Structure 1
Amino acid sequence: MTTVRLPKTDRTIETYETSGTPIALERRSASDFPRVAFAAAHVVADPLANSDPWLDPAIDWERTLAFRHRLWDLGLGVAEAMDTAQRGMGLGWGEAKELIRRSLAEANGRPDALIACGAGTDHLAPAPGLGIDQVIGAYEDQIAEVEAMDGRIILMASRALAFTARGPDDYLKVYDRILGQVKQPVIIHWLGEMFDPALEGYWGSSDHWAAMDTCLEAISAHADKVDGIKVSLLSKEKEVAMRRRLPAGVRMYTGDDFNYAELIAGDGEHFSDALLGIFDAIAPAASAGLAALGNGKSDTFFNILEPTVPLSRHIFKAPTRFYKTGVVFLAYLNGLQDHFRMIGGQESARSLVHLAELFRLADKANVLADPDDASDRMGRFLAAQGIA
């Protein structure tokens, strides 16, 4: 146990004593798990780059790729160049393409490495006069780039499509064209407006239930080209309802960072696989929990993962799109990077009080790898902010 002085919501400072027991790191493979499990991985900024952080993404490639190897060592897959990597919030398509290229090269040296890569339309800016055919062309451009690298596709939601579409039929046209030509089954990502306000009304309706009908129609028309769908609506009721309606063989990948434990465990008839940003932050716990579930120890699975849920709900609290700040801060606390800097200057997106509560919850969730070192890092960080 160690102590650190942390700010509270009432503007006072408390002396906090850590009590968590770090989860032991154990090398595993994806075959040890009863679910397919991807962690959407963050990128590590280069703090010494002579660049404008809000404008020019500077990436520490060595640390960024080392983090992916850590996920693979734990048996988790890497969902590359997703929103957790600040796609559309500091990471443009040019940098994302290079990230994908480098990660695929690293994965090629590991037969056990599971990786899938985000392809979207983020090089196409929403603008008046934009047409559906241009959106299709943008998707085709990125898909061609990833497929040329032998990458597996995660079909990302498109801001340009949300801006351009006039109703469900436009979404069906786009997904029909794209799914009809991909080389191998893709994972579709339905990213809700809580993660990205520009995606409000995706699938042609602001009513998620009506949008779900359109999404399912698109999937059913090309079920052989859809490995699964990642739903990020932060609603277990909607995810459960949708997974019951999926065509046979199409997976539900939970993107619910509020309710992932029970959704992964399932209800006895259906369950969700996982593609989660929080698995970046709690990778050792996710790995240990999934291994326990694979060994038939459901109680151990919940004992490991349920304490992480309050932490995840805090990291992903509204405005949810700023969750990347908490993910990277926890990587800093755990010694996976030597600084708390982010591309786009996004380290400033959460308050000091928010980060202090993150520390407390991470301790209670047993995901501080070394509580003494984490406390020292937290103290030095707060001191630099004027809190001694």
Structure 2
Amino acid sequence: MSQELKLPRAGGALYSYTPGQSAVIELPDKPLQSRIAFSAAHVVCDPFADADPLNHAQIDWDGTLAYRRHLWSLGLGVAEAMDTAQRGMGLDWARAKELISRSITEAKSVGGRIASGAGTDHLAPGPQVTLEQVEQAYEEQVGFVEGQGGQVILMASRALAACAQSPEDYERVYGRILSQVKQPVILHWLGDMFDPALAGYWGERDVDAAMDVCLRVIRAHADKVDGIKISLLDDEKEIRMRRLLPESVKMYTGDDFNYPALIRGDEQGFSHALLGIFDAIAPAAAAAIHALDNGDETRYSALLEPTVALSRHIFQKPTYAYKTGIVFMAYLNGHQNHFRMIGGAEGARSIVHLAELFVLADKAGLLTDPDRAAERMRHVLKLAGL
């Protein structure tokens, strides 16, 4: 029986909670069939590296690759070196290259699906940056990923957002890159709630107008676009865009608030998945898609709907701090022995936030060993003075 904990509420009041209130999810053992599901995976920090944690934190490669093997064992794909891995927020391009190379090698050894982020984050945004420099930066990163034998996720560019003067500038840059890629890529439209530097992406502040620009790019290069992941946290916008895509182009939901309905779909189609929350809820995500494979929508909803409250909590404003909750889940579930992050990001959420995350994870059946999770939660509470 799990130990009772004293958890804090806002303002300092404590309440009693005993985990183990939901059955742990039974893991599937067959490949997924009806949907493609990528988990944007986090990186495990090396807590014993003698380096500045804010600027030069090191990666624990054994722990990082072990977590990717865990995701592949569930039938999920890995979206590598994305914002969940703190790309551009603690993980620079130099370390991202090593991460991508190691993960692609690991994926090949186990037959796992992988796609890796290519952007322009080694090019500092600024008024002096030119479109030619943005194109060259994209070419360098795309060339690296493809040179490793990997599929590209073409990430949004802060440098392009800073220097582009019009929608036509976006069409020019994306057109050049897409005309050169060796295999179809996944485009990534990341909303400014995830990265404020991407406000007004596609050259338009209005989301519908920006969508029209993005669709023009996709239609002009449909043979070079596998799909698009949009992370706007607006299910109606995603459904609208999904229905306007060329038939050959997939929609990968990046909506960490509304994913159950978007993945289930409607009479006109459905979204595949490329989600940061799938890192934290991997067992439920895999089991739910297996239920869809079997035509069991009731089981699908029973597995995935309880995770929504947890996801909305993890991704609450400021949304970009969601990585802290993702890593905390991995710590609670024994996938790493510490709650440390590159850039010191473990401090980005309050102890009240983490306590509520613990409860929501338990109620969704996502604490694989409630006793271990309770003991680890107790350590974190002690560090907070409780």
AA aligned to 1:22 is: V
Aligned to 1:223: 222
SS at match of 1:48: coil
Within 5 Å, give how 1:1-388 maps onto structure 2. 1-2=1-2, 3-18=4-19, 19-29=21-31, 32-111=32-111, 113-387=112-386
* TM-score (normalised: structure 1): 0.98
Does structure 1 retain, via aligned residues, the 8 Å contact 2:107–2:113? yes
SS at match of 2:180: coil
SS at match of 1:72: helix
Equivalent-residue separation in structure 1 for 2:334 and 2:8 (angstroms): 22
SS at match of 2:320: helix
SS at match of 1:180: helix
Equivalent-residue separation in structure 2 for 1:33 and 1:14 (angstroms): 43
* TM-score (normalised: structure 2): 0.98
Equivalent-residue separation in structure 2 for 1:4 and 1:195 (angstroms): 33
Equivalent-residue separation in structure 1 for 2:48 and 2:29 (angstroms): 32
Q: How many percent identity over aligned positions? A: 61
Does structure 1 retain, via aligned residues, the 8 Å contact 2:49–2:57? no
Shift of the alpha carbon at 1:22?
A: 1.1
Shift of the alpha carbon at 1:226?
A: 0.2
Shift of the alpha carbon at 1:107?
A: 1.0
SS at match of 2:327: helix
Shift of the alpha carbon at 1:64?
A: 0.1
Shift of the alpha carbon at 1:17?
A: 1.7
Shift of the alpha carbon at 1:25?
A: 2.7
AA aligned to 1:7 is: P
AA aligned to 1:380 is: H
Shift of the alpha carbon at 1:24?
A: 2.2
Equivalent-residue separation in structure 2 for 1:332 and 1:27 (angstroms): 24
AA aligned to 1:72 is: W
Does structure 1 retain, via aligned residues, the 8 Å contact 2:120–2:159? yes
SS at match of 1:306: helix
Equivalent-residue separation in structure 1 for 2:205 and 2:380 (angstroms): 41
Shift of the alpha carbon at 1:292?
A: 0.5
Q: How many residues align?
A: 384
Does structure 2 retain, via aligned residues, the 8 Å contact 1:45–1:343? yes
Give 5+ residue unaligned stretches, structure 1: none
AA aligned to 1:208 is: V
Regions of 4+ moved over 4 Å:
none
Shift of the alpha carbon at 1:319?
A: 0.5
Equivalent-residue separation in structure 1 for 2:30 and 2:43 (angstroms): 23
Does structure 1 retain, via aligned residues, the 8 Å contact 2:91–2:342? yes
AA aligned to 2:170 is: Y
Does structure 1 retain, via aligned residues, the 8 Å contact 2:190–2:230? yes
Shift of the alpha carbon at 1:248?
A: 1.0
Equivalent-residue separation in structure 2 for 1:260 and 1:36 (angstroms): 13
Does structure 1 retain, via aligned residues, the 8 Å contact 2:229–2:274? yes
AA aligned to 1:292 is: A
Equivalent-residue separation in structure 1 for 2:6 and 2:25 (angstroms): 24
Of 127-136 and 297-306, deviating more is: 127-136
Equivalent-residue separation in structure 2 for 1:268 and 1:299 (angstroms): 17
AA aligned to 2:317 is: A
Equivalent-residue separation in structure 2 for 1:68 and 1:33 (angstroms): 20
Does structure 2 retain, via aligned residues, the 8 Å contact 1:28–1:73? no
SS at match of 1:229: strand
**Superposed CA offset, 1:75-114 (max 9, x none):** 0000000000000000000000000000011111123x10
Equivalent-residue separation in structure 1 for 2:353 and 2:113 (angstroms): 33
Equivalent-residue separation in structure 2 for 1:26 and 1:247 (angstroms): 33
Equivalent-residue separation in structure 1 for 2:291 and 2:247 (angstroms): 27
Shift of the alpha carbon at 1:26?
A: 3.3
Equivalent-residue separation in structure 1 for 2:260 and 2:378 (angstroms): 32
Of 62-71 and 7-16, deviating more is: 7-16
Shift of the alpha carbon at 1:57?
A: 2.7
Shift of the alpha carbon at 1:128?
A: 2.4
**Superposed CA offset, 1:300-333 (max 9, x none):** 0000000000000000011000000000001000
Shift of the alpha carbon at 1:384?
A: 1.9
Does structure 2 retain, via aligned residues, the 8 Å contact 1:6–1:15? yes
Does structure 1 retain, via aligned residues, the 8 Å contact 2:243–2:268? no
Shift of the alpha carbon at 1:264?
A: 0.1
